Amino acid sequence: MRLDINLASQPYEDARQFWMRWGTAVVAVGLLTLILVTLDVTGWINARRDRAAMAEKRALIADRDRLRASAEEFLNRPENRSTRDTSQLLNELIERKAFSWTRVLENLEKVMPARVHVVSINPQLNEENELGLKMTVAGDSRDRAIELARRMEESGRFADTNITGERSTQSATGDTEQMDIVATYIPEPLFASTTEPKTTAPKTESKPKPAGGTPKGSRR
């Protein structure tokens, strides 16, 4: 019988395979840790920057509110009430003059879904001296009126569009739903249209033809 006996003081180990296996794992964990630390630091820096920007905006809003409150307190004084009323009247006149029924109806026509029509429309100035619209629309579907409100908001000509009421109705036109919609009208910017002068082709003078056609030559 043969016995294999290892007389070495330390058993044989493949060190290269050990470092290849565990070294790769350690490097991968280190890279992952570095990436996570980098993302954490970047997020903290961005959050700090956003907090500073928000604090700056809040300070600007607070200054604006204080300035507005001071101006309102100044205008509400008895000696300045006539100036305030005159200013409000002039602003209302300017806003109403800028209001164009044609433009409003054209803008509504662009966003109006099929089988929906305007029953009534009423413009008025709100507390912010902006031109608001209150209108009632009718159609055969509630979803189409909701689609109209969404299109108005996305058009850029209307803002703060909300549905304030809805009711069922029956009419000869087939309308089954009526909805009240309020919105702020944003008129198009007024600018002087530059039109190029029309160029006309020069007229060519034509020689008058003698009456009776082409004259015959005289005989000798």
Cα dist from 163 to 37, 137, 143, 147, 149, whole Å? 49, 10, 12, 11, 7
Please give the torsion angle defined by the CA atoms of residues 112, 134, 184 and 70, in that order, rounded to the nearest 10 degrees: 180
**CATH number (domain holding residue 154):** 3.30.70.2830
Whether residue 195 is predicted with pLDDT greater than 90 in this model: the reply is no
65 lies in the same domain as 106:
no
Whether residue 74 is predicted with pLDDT greater than 90 in this model: the reply is no
65 lies in the same domain as 141:
no
- The total number of structural domains in the chain stands at 2
Whether residue 122 is predicted with pLDDT greater than 70 in this model: the reply is yes
105 lies in the same domain as 62:
no
107 lies in the same domain as 146:
yes
pLDDT in tens, 7-44: 555 555 556 676 777 778 888 888 999 999 999 899 89
Residue 70 covered by a domain: yes
Conformation bin of residue 156: beta by default, left when phi > 0, alpha when psi is -120 to 50: left
DSSP3 helix / strand / coil % (the chain, rounded to 5): 50, 20, 35
128 lies in the same domain as 164:
yes
* Structural domain containing residue 61: 18-76
Give the H/E segment covering residue 87: helix 81-98
